[in-house]
Amino acid sequence: MPDRVLEAYSDYKSPYAFLAKDPARDLAREFGLRLNWLPLTLDIPSYLDHHEARSARNWRKVKYAYMDCRRMANERGLVLYGPKTIFDSRPANIGLLYAASQGEAVENRYHDRVFERFFRRDFDPSDAEAVAGALADAGADVTGWPGFLAGEGNSAHAAIVADAQRRGVFGVPTFVWRDELFFGGDRLFLLRERLVADLGAPA
């Protein structure tokens, strides 16, 4: 029943994606939806102009964003340290696809652990061997991981990115329900209103 799928674009280097993960799961559970995580590696330079050339306004925005995320994390008892550099999170994001291929339980454990460890500064999402370790910790059989990262996973991730761009996605987290986009955890209330309108209030 594809109509009952909520799609969620996410990237491990996004603190807002980290903070929206559990509320999105709760929402999907509440409405009996399957939550389909789609890894989308953000191209930070085009997302918030080039690191070296960021305008004064964008620096204020970046500073605010981490303060904003930290206070939201604090409210929920989560640890969230800002990364010291801009990571290439593509290997960890492809790892999510590999984890999903091994079942929902593996996918959820991997998703939780990678986010938590990255925002404790305890995980390098660009390191394929570190990703293999995280997959193994989540219960995955990692024998196929190197080949997946170089081949099928890489292609699947590229296809997801291209499809996201075609749909108008420009950042994460973005949730897609029946072709309508909801960007950011702070639009989950609107998504919920839409779900109630489309599916009725949950029991």
Partner 1 sequence: MSAAIEVWLDFKSPYAWLALEGIRALGRDSGRPLSWRPFCLDVAPLPATADAVARAHEARKLRYLADDVARLAARQGKRVVLPEKPVDSRPALLGGFRALEAGCFDAYADLVFDAFFAGRLRLDDVAAIADCLAGSGAPDPGFADHVRRHGPALLAAAEEAAEAAGVFGSPTLVLDGELFWGGDRLEMLRRRLSV
- The stretch near partner 1 (CB under 8 A) out of 8-16, 67-75, 78-86, 113-121 is 67-75
CB of 7 to partner 1, least distance (A): 15
CB of 32 to partner 1, least distance (A): 24
Q: Which of residues 75-94 bind partner 1 (CB under 8 A)?
A: none
> What DSSP designation does 120 have?
T
- Applying CB under 8 A, which of residues 67, 79, 162, 196 lies at the interface with partner 1? 67
Cβ neighbours for 18, distance < 8 A, ≥ 6 positions apart? 12, 69, 78, 80, 115, 118, 119
Interaction of residue 60 with partner 1, rule CB under 8 A: yes
- The stretch near partner 1 (CB under 8 A) out of 25-33, 66-74, 136-144, 150-158 is 66-74
- Applying CB under 8 A, which of residues 169, 172, 176, 195 lies at the interface with partner 1? 169
Interaction of residue 58 with partner 1, rule CB under 8 A: yes
Pick from 151, 115, 133: nearest CA to 16: 115
- Cα–Cα distance measured from residue 125 to residue 114, given in angstroms and rounded to the nearest whole number: 8
Confirm if 56 and 64 have CB atoms less than 8 A apart. no
- Applying CB under 8 A, which of residues 54, 113, 187, 192 lies at the interface with partner 1? 187
Backbone phi, psi, residue 176, to 5°: -125, 120
CB of 64 to partner 1, least distance (A): 6
Q: Which two tokens stand for residue 127?
A: 């390191």
